[in-house]
């Protein structure tokens, strides 16, 4: 899969592995969202406006997540403070309110998953 997608990072990490013997499986998020396993034209809109809207939505969520990451890094990791997930969610939702993609119903479970899989921590 890494070769066909020209994903050199994945290709380097799996080179020389016998995945049949390892009983390798796709990561749950890759399988659920189908974004990695499918070609982009199957899940990405051909409509330029829809594609731009999706990019703006992703940018808004990335910006809100950056704010949360800053809090986790400074308060939790550097200063060893305890921060509740509900408070991080409120920060995330509050940051989204400043965009056209406000989502007051954003679920804590989604944010928890984002934090858990985030690599730089």
pLDDT tens per residue across all 121 residues of the chain: 445 555 666 665 666 666 556 666 666 655 555 555 556 655 566 788 888 999 999 999 999 999 999 999 999 999 999 999 999 999 999 999 999 999 999 999 999 999 999 887 5
Q: Which pLDDT value is given to residue 51?
A: 87
**pLDDT at position 57:** 94
Using CA atoms, how far apart are residues 97 and 88, in angstroms rounded to an integer? 14
Predicted local distance difference test score (pLDDT) of residue 119: 82
């Amino acid at each position: 899969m890494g070769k066909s997608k020209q994903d050199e990072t994945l290709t380097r990490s799996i080179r020389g592995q016998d995945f049949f013997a390892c009983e390798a499986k796709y990561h749950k998020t890759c399988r659920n969202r189908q974004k990695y396993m499918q070609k982009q034209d199957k899940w990405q809109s051909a409509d330029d406006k829809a594609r731009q809207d999706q990019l703006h939505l992703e940018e808004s969520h990335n910006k809100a997540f950056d704010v949360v990451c800053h809090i986790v890094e400074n308060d939790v990791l550097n200063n060893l403070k305890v921060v509740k997930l509900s408070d991080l969610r409120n920060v995330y939702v509050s940051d989204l309110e400043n965009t056209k993609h406000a989502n007051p119903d954003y679920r804590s479970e989604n944010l928890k998953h984002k934090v858990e899989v985030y690599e730089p921590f």
